[in-house]
Amino acid sequence: MPKQCTEVNLADWEDRIKRLEDAEAIRNLIASYGPAADRGDAKTVSEIWWKDGAYDVGGFGVSKGRVEIAALITGDTHRQLMAKGCAHILSPHEIDLEGDRATATGYSTVFRKSDSEYEAWRVSFNEWIFEKREDEWRAVLRVNRPVDGKGGLNEH
């Protein structure tokens, strides 16, 4: 005989669905970074973060707030990458949800076009911290460190 659906079971299912929806919202934010960066859409990139968010890019410093994060996309280094052709590829990230806060860890690779092919220009560890405010997820911090044998994310 099938198990009866009780209020407790419904509450459990609602919680599970909400967690899946939260994880999917975070995945979509992470996935939106690469295409926006590659088309030079600094506004869309910066809006992945809350206004008080920060992006700590190993070798490039810490950008605080949306204006500074947008400047990474409009700056010389990124414009030079775009001029020759580039692709920011983010791996699937492991997401750990804790209420209205989440941590996502994974890798990113920036490919740049050389004369005849694309080459990996930067391969990095990534740790994102997300917060849900007013029923919306955005990043409060992203730490990006090159995979260079020097400790990765443990260095921040």
- The CATH number linked to 13 is 3.10.450.50
**Amino acid letter at 93?**
H
In a domain, 1, yes or no: no
Is position 138 within any domain? Answer: yes
Q: What is the mean pLDDT of residues 28-40?
A: 98
Q: What is the pLDDT of residues 109-142, one digit of tens each?
A: 999 999 889 999 999 999 999 999 999 999 999 9
As for how many domains the chain has, the answer is 1
Flag whether 26 is in a domain.
Answer: yes
- Give the separation between CA 10 and CA 5, rounded to whole angstroms: 7
- Residue 37 sits in which domain range? 7-155
CB 128 within 8 A of CB 103: yes
pLDDT tens figures, 45-69: 999 999 999 999 999 999 999 999 9
Percent of the chain with pLDDT over 90: 85
- Residue 112 domain-assigned? yes
What does the alpha-carbon distance between residue 63 and residue 105 come to, in Å, rounded to a whole number?
19
